[in-house]
Amino acid sequence: MVASSALPEPSDHGLMAAGSLLSSSVLFIAGVATVAVGAGLGVRRLLLEGATVVAVAGLSVLVAGLVLLVVAGRLLWRRVRGRRRLWFVPVVMVSLVGAWSVMFAVMVTVVPATPLDQRSVGSLPATYRDVHLTAGDGVVLSAWWAPPSQGAAIVLLHGSGENRSSTLAAASVLMRHGYGVLLLDARGHGDSAGAGMDLGWFGNSDVGAAIAFLRDEPSVDASRIGVLGLSMGGEEAIGAAAAYPQIRAVVAEGAKSRTAEDKAAWLPGGVAGAVQRVIDRVTYGLIDGLTPAGPPIPLRDAVVRAPDARILLIAAGTSRDEQDAAAAIRSVAPDPVSVWTVSGATHTGGLHAAPSEWENRVIAFFDAALTTP
């Protein structure tokens, strides 16, 4: 009898086991994604807004995702035996990284409201008035405007999760020296319309509306316009300087990164830096898919494309990341860009940590940069 050379047919038991393992893995991935989306939607909104509809919905999705993870984890543990369970370690690690990327992407593109503090509104000096600006894409932005006494004007840009009231202290300093101030609510923040985006990818459009407003103001010398931004606002200010030649001076405090390319410029080398760069590529790719804004040019490219603008970067003395980011930005344009590290200051806390020096440095910078040619 001649032995058959045909391969043995897989058993029904083997097929069922493989199918069960595949379905459990899919269930696990779905659980990770659901947890990430729910956390991105619900946790931050609950902390900032309370139990709103969106916060409760996000937390419900988070709980459903956790249930999926528990069920899928138990099924996988039962169906994978012995040493093969060691594969759970890298799988869990990759899942955690993926969950963080998804959660962060959702969190910065679906942002909660940041209403104005009515105590700040009630204490505004009479020199301020409410104004409304229209961005190029039709979004109506809100701002406070106080005209200058000497022709120069500064646009003030707040950080993510904030609104124009967070720039009032800086505006007061500028006004004491005769500068006009335009305190702008970014879209989706404060009283401005539109969808918020916590990385400032709509910055060029929003700042463009502010520049157009100042150019039409009879009290403003259009050749003497500057921008002061905090955190996200600082990154928006740097980017806008490349888009609008009318901006002759920028003070950016706490600016670090708003794209993967920005972070790559100052992350460390080695395996840890390489892994972080890959994670950032994935994370910012997800962000790009969740917002219609489109990624802006990297900050280092922006300072190169704005050769006529003087730029002062203010870094917190307690933040190594801010200092590294400022050094990386200045390295490509050392002539127009200067850096001041405020000893003991926390993120965007330079004015609080060193009020006299902050005032002297910032005013001297704007005075020098915005002197009429």
Give the model's confidence band at 349: pLDDT under 50 very low, under 70 low, under 90 confident, else very high. very high
Q: What is the dihedral of CA 344, 349, 354, 358, to 10 degrees?
A: 130
- Residue at which a domain ends, from 89, 109, 129: 109
Give the model's confidence band at 230: pLDDT under 50 very low, under 70 low, under 90 confident, else very high. very high
- Residue at which a domain ends, from 109, 141, 174: 109
In a 3-state reduction of DSSP, which class is residue 342? strand
- How deeply is 266 buried, as exposed, middle or buried, from its count of CB atoms within 10 A (0-12, 13-18, 19+)? buried
Is there a domain that residue 53 lies in? Answer: yes
Task: Check pLDDT > 70 for residue 11.
Answer: no
Q: What pLDDT sits at residue 366?
A: 98
Q: Are residues 54 and 172 in the same domain?
A: no
Torsion sign over Cα 232, 204, 246, 338: positive
Q: Are residues 101 and 31 in the same domain?
A: yes
CA distances from 138 to 57, 134, 163 (A): 30, 6, 20
- Residue at which a domain ends, from 67, 87, 109: 109
| Residue 247, φ and ψ in degrees, nearest 5 | -80, 110
Q: Are residues 253 and 310 in the same domain?
A: yes
Is there a domain that residue 205 lies in? Answer: yes
User: pLDDT by residue (tens digit) across 125-160?
Assistant: 888 999 999 999 999 999 999 999 999 999 999 999
- Percent residues over pLDDT 90 in the chain: 67
Is there a domain that residue 274 lies in? Answer: no
- Distance between CA atoms of 268 and 195, rounded to whole angstroms? 34
Task: Please state which of the ranges 72-81, 291-300, 364-373 shows the lowest mean pLDDT.
Answer: 72-81
User: pLDDT by residue (tens digit) across 299-343?
Assistant: 999 999 998 999 999 999 999 999 999 999 999 999 999 999 999
Question: What mean pLDDT is reported for the chain?
Answer: 90
Q: Are residues 302 and 181 in the same domain?
A: yes
The enclosing domain of 181 has a CATH number of 3.40.50.1820
Domain holding 214, by residue range, is: 118-267+297-369
Which tokens belong to 166?
Answer: 């967070």
In a 3-state reduction of DSSP, which class is residue 358? helix
Of 332 and 88, more confident: 332
- Distance between CA atoms of 112 and 195, rounded to whole angstroms? 10
- In the sheet with 225-230, reading across from the earlier edge strand, the strands are 129-134, 140-146, 180-184, 153-157, 225-230, 247-253, 310-316, 337-342
Is there a domain that residue 282 lies in? Answer: no
Q: Are residues 303 and 354 in the same domain?
A: yes
Residue 216 bridge partners (DSSP): none
Torsion sign over Cα 357, 160, 155, 190: negative
Q: Are residues 327 and 212 in the same domain?
A: yes
Is there a domain that residue 309 lies in? Answer: yes
Q: What pLDDT sits at residue 19?
A: 52
Q: Are residues 148 and 80 in the same domain?
A: no
Is there a domain that residue 1 lies in? Answer: no
Q: What pLDDT sits at residue 89?
A: 81
Is there a domain that residue 279 lies in? Answer: no
Q: Are residues 30 and 92 in the same domain?
A: yes
Q: Are residues 317 and 247 in the same domain?
A: yes
- Distance between CA atoms of 209 and 292, rounded to whole angstroms? 18
- Distance between CA atoms of 253 and 245, rounded to whole angstroms? 21
DSSP 269: -
Q: Are residues 124 and 80 in the same domain?
A: no
Q: Are residues 144 and 169 in the same domain?
A: yes
Domain total for the chain? 2
Is there a domain that residue 275 lies in? Answer: no
Q: Are residues 211 and 345 in the same domain?
A: yes
Closest CA to 338 of 322, 321, 314: 314
